[in-house]
Structure 1
Amino acid sequence: MDLRVSLQALMGRSLTRAAVAASVAAGLALTGACGGGGAGGDDSLTVGLLLPGGGASRFGQFDRPLIERKLKELCPHCPAAFAATPDPAVQRQQLESMITRGVDVLIIAAVDPELLRPSVEAAHRAGIPVVAYDRLAQGPIAGYVTFDGAKVGRLQGEGLLKAMGAKARGGQIVMMNGATTDPNADWFKRGALSVLKGKVKIGKSYDTVGWRPENAFVNMKGAVAALGAGNIDGVLAANDSLAGAAVSALNATEVRPLPPITGQDADLAAVRRIVRGDQYMTVYKPYKPAADAAVEMAIALGRGKSVESIATGTVDNATTKDIPAVLLPSVSVTVGNIKDTLVKDGMYTIAQICPPQLRSACDKAGLT
């Protein structure tokens, strides 16, 4: 999918339907004050939040609580209707359920932007503005908040080349890309390739269905079988879940030493792998500025106001031009700067990163 980005500046300001399956209804949770409806009312704005994961996922651990906290700060009496699922069909039902419920505005991180498009169009017809979060939704969205995907990919590519050392000239790598249904995955891939092309040989490149680690595990084992255990000099893994699957597959096939592996999202398990030496780097995306911008956009749109003062640029999707957007920068994290990035920002404490079995490695990394 071609994502055309027009940046004016890089930094931005940091119901239930009978036909809806029971699993969808169970996935909808209401937090905050009771009541809702009444579009435009400062004290009665209901914000629908749809995420592709909850619980232990990045979206459950960081995005949801940050969004809900900012919403409570800016609009104390605005309830939030929340739903999370990795299943695109279920997410579409969840969105339709929120439309029926009569939410005033939606923040959506789409599992499958194309599949969700008819429901986004239905929200538009119902007068419900949609803020696309993290992933560019299709259809008439009113705002978009994400991190610069090309920059993420470049950071991964640059990190991998640095870790490969002399093998960065002519060495062979495996690319573990994200799902083709996620437009960000192609954005990341193109950013990485802009750095890697002409320098390394791409022995295998996989688009991981659903971003699922089990699929990445199978693909990585297949790459080892096809290329040979000693012929993989690096792994460009698009996020930390895929990186973890790659490490597991390489361990299962007894590849030693492990080649350098990239990641994204700064998952706690990935940070520990970096300390241990099993993963070279991850891309840290400070979630608070993104959550803050999404809530600011949602509240403005729900009250019928412009978001031009919040947006830092514009993007186009397949149906809509010049969508107001906030595109945020990311940070490369390796073992040497964990303390100055993740710990300093309060994402994790040293105690969280360093269980007893990693104490020696943490001491060596200066995590004391």
Structure 2
Amino acid sequence: MRRVVIGTAAVSMALSMAACGKAGDKKDDSGSSSSGGGKTIGLLLPDSVTARYEKFDKPYFEAKVKDLCSDCNVEYANAAGDAAKQAQQVSSMITKGVKVIVVSAQDSAAIKSSIQTAVNKGIKVVAYDRLAQGPVSAYVSFDNVKVGELQGQALLDALGSKATKKSKVVMINGDDADPNAGQFKKGAHQALDGKVDIAYEQSGLWKDTVAAQKMKAAITQLGAKKIAGVYSANDGMAGGIATTLKGAGISGIPLTGQDAELAGIQRIVAGVQSSTVYKAFKPEAEAAAQLAVNLLQGKDIKSLANQTLTSGSGDKVPSQLLVPVSVTKANIKDTVIKDKLYTVQDICTADYAKACKAAGLQ
């Protein structure tokens, strides 16, 4: 998302945490593995629909914790898109004696009371990827306003000479319960306002099905031939939007995304999606692990979290913000392939072989 080289080779990978599946571990109804308190760090992720969380964030986080603290355990649970379930998972972590909780909030406001309860019990809380409300000790994510700016600029770049004040753009934002969504939206508006006509704007709730419905409504309202481009706040929603566009006979217009999901990269190769934003998962997960271990061991975090952000609850939070990168067909090799997020073989399956050859990937 930022025009900066991503340093994913900075830290070697350790083995995935034994605490997430070793013999004798017990499973509770939240889907987390149980290994007791002591030197235990809790990791709570918001959903399993977004591919990155369980495929990348979780194993990278676990491996880095193990690398930094060989006798530490990671207690993991996924909220499956349910804020109430995530609140229960925080309670379960407290009961199990977890010392630090790293949480990517399903609902940043709803989790505030759970975080306060944890802190009252002497537990340190790190907000991961999304700035949760309440007395969190640290926050690690990307510069999310910059993410939105990159998305908006990529849309303008793809429009080229068609980017005029009369060009009608559809804007499908993320879930308002996620503070990141508002920051992406802010950045995108900073890039787009005054340059194109944002003729239809709605939330897609981070769901491909909802985004598809919103896109259909936009086509009905504006007319298929009147839409110059589509801003989608992430790749998951872009998938639903792309399906709707195809069904309406619309092709060749710019469509943004975010998260550099494999399906999004493949759509870019195929010319269905024009761009995504790559937030390197490994550096983010490893930064969160470092903060968590430092807090667990009573070490200073000022050198790591050297910025301060204000959460929705008004709390001043020490923050570490990483740099995102815009990805188009032109720099797939230099970003997600170079960083070994995906191999050419991952991207260039049989359905995309011809497009990959044309794009210079094979």
Superposition map of 1:140-289 within 5 A: 140-170=135-165, 171-209=167-205, 211-255=206-250, 257-289=251-283
**Corresponding position: 1:292 with 2:286:** yes
| C-alpha deviation, 1:56, in angstroms | 6.6
Q: Could you tell me which residue of structure 2 aligns to residue 28 of structure 1?
A: 31
Mapped pair 1:135 → 2:130: yes
Shift of residue 322, structure 1, vs aligned partner: 3.3
- Amino acid in the other structure paired with 2:216: K
5+ residue gaps, structure 1, are 1-10, 15-23, 38-44
1:176 counterpart letter in structure 2: I
> How big is the shift at 1:316?
1.3
Amino acid of the structure 1 residue aligned with 2:170: V
Q: Are the counterparts in 1 of residues 134 and 315 from structure 2 also a CA contact under 8 Å?
A: no
* TM-fit CA distance, 1:12: 11
- Compared with structure 1, are the counterparts of its residues 233 and 55 closer, same or farther at alpha carbon in structure 2 (3 Å cutoff)? closer
Q: Which amino acid aligns with 2:55?
A: Q
TM-score under structure 1 length normalisation: 0.88
1:334 corresponds in structure 2 to: 328
- Tell me which amino acid in the other structure corresponds to 2:186: R
How many residues are aligned here? 338
Equivalent residue letter for 1:27: S
For 1:181 and 1:318, the matched residues in 2 are separated by 11
1:36-75 paired onto structure 2 within 5 Å: 36-37=37-38, 45-54=39-48, 57-75=51-69
Distance 2:132 2:190 in 1: 25
The 8 Å contact of residues 12 and 311 in structure 1, kept in 2 or not, is answered as no
Is the CA contact (8 Å cut-off) linking 1:266 and 1:283 kept in structure 2? yes
What percentage of residue pairs aligned between the two structures are identical?
Answer: 45
Distance in 2, Cα, partners of 1:52 & 1:159 = 28
Q: Secondary structure at the match of 2:309?
A: strand
Whether contact under 8 Å (2:128, 2:139) holds in the other structure is yes
What SS is found at the alignment partner of 2:238?
helix
**Structure 1 CA distance, aligned partners of 2:53 and 2:323?**
18
In structure 1, the partner of 2:91 is 96
Contact 1:47 1:298 in 2 (8 A): yes
Contact kept in structure 2, 1:153 and 1:191, CA below 8 Å: yes
After the TM superposition, list the runs of 4 or more consecutive aligned residues in structure 1 that deviate by more than 6 angstroms. 11-14
- Residue 366 of structure 1: how far off its partner (Å): 1.1
Asked whether the equivalents of residues 50 and 236 of structure 2 are also in contact (C-alpha less than 8 Å), the reply is no
Tell me if structure 1 keeps the 8 A contact 2:44–2:102. Answer: yes
Report the CA distance shift for 1:342/1:297 in structure 2 as closer, same or farther (over 3 A).
Answer: same
Decide whether aligned partners of structure 1 residues 55 and 177 sit closer, same or farther in structure 2, where only a CA change above 3 A counts.
closer
What displacement does 1:181 show?
Answer: 0.3
1:87 is the counterpart of 2:82: yes
Native 8 Å contact 1:240 1:264 kept in 2: yes
Rounded Cα–Cα distance in structure 2 between residues aligned with 1:355 and 1:304: 48
Flag the 1:55–1:165 CA change in 2: closer, same or farther, 3 A.
closer
- In structure 1, how many angstroms separate the alpha carbons of the residues matched to 2:108 and 2:351? 42
Cα deviations by residue, 1:272-309 (Å, 9 ceiling, x for unpaired): 00000000000001111111110111111122222112
Contact 1:106 1:128 in 2 (8 A): yes
Is 1:348 the counterpart of 2:342? The answer is yes
Provide the aligned C-alpha RMSD in A.
1.8
Contact 1:25 1:94 (C-alpha < 8 Å) held by counterparts: no
Q: Contact 2:37–2:96 (CA<8 Å) still a contact in 1? A: no
Whether the 8 Å contact between 1:12 and 1:310 is mirrored in structure 2 is no
CA distance, structure 1, for counterparts of residue 63 and residue 342 of structure 2: 18
